[in-house]
Amino acid sequence: MTSTAFGIGGDLKVRRLGFGAMHLPTEPGRARETSLAVARRAVELGVTLIDTAYLYGGGANEELLAEALHPYPDGLLITTKVGVARSGPSSEWKLDGRPAVLRDQVEQALRRLRVERIDLLQLHRIDPQTPLADQLGTLRDLQTEGKVGRIGLSEVTAAELGQAREIVDVASVQNRYNLLDREHEPVLAACEAAGIAFLPWRPVAWGESGASTEVAVVAAELDATPTQVALAWLLGHSPVILPIPGTARIDHLEENLAAEGLRLTQAHRDRLDQLPEPA
């Protein structure tokens, strides 16, 4: 039986199937009203882990979630990410892990999310231009100050995860990973060995014919959708995986969350495990 809950950092208990808010439109108008409704419906359906980031609209996504959900119900974790900023004459988004930038982004996130502490803060990317010890040391200082609860990473290698764990206690890793894209299997293995939450972004992705056709066949046999099969496979693949599928539609949200009840047989899992990654 696949467990439906996980303790991030050992004690922050969440439902394993979460929600990624990246795709929610934030501009004023009907689309924004739908975004608010989707976020609220996710919580109504029992989602306790919602993922956002400063990068998503320069904080607009964080403000949207606060408008939709504040005051937050007990047990709801909204995790955000810092470390990407607009810089230079053209104001392009670039990696920026300088301590002053990270500290400012955390202070802004606290204000936008209307909280005194971010229970899980993730470094969106490691900035190669700034010493890792400076980046993680800043987050550790914010943790000591009570503004950050737990620290996570995003898009790291197993070696980078190992280096980071020598500096801070890493509670989560958010890497690209799905049924048809398992490049970060070594990172997942490291997370599983250490009990670190692994939040796959882009948890559902379809390649060309072949592999996705096999997924569709399994879905038809189970009277499910290919998306549900992909999410159910993730939930059963490792106990530390916490998928965060995103959508801007309530019907897709409900479809995604229903995947938690889908039971893949061992024969189905064997077929899916052997799928080749698309070229």
The per-residue pLDDT for 279 is: 61
| Helical (H) or strand (E) element with 51 | strand 49-51
The per-residue pLDDT for 92 is: 86
- Catalytic residue chosen out of the listed positions 54, 56, 72, 177: 56
Structural domains present in the chain: 5-207+238-262 (3.20.20.100)
Per-residue pLDDT of 141-197, as tens digits, reads 999 999 999 999 999 999 999 999 999 999 999 999 999 999 999 999 999 999 999
CA angle 172, 21, 74 (to 5 degrees): 70
- Mean of the pLDDT values across residues 17-35? 97
Annotation marks residue 72 as catalytic: no
Per-residue pLDDT of 59-102, as tens digits, reads 999 999 999 999 999 999 999 999 999 876 667 889 999 999 99
| pLDDT greater at residue 276 or residue 201 | 201
Question: Is 241 exposed, middle or buried, given 0-12, 13-18 or 19+ CB atoms closer than 10 A?
Answer: buried
pTM of the model: 0.95
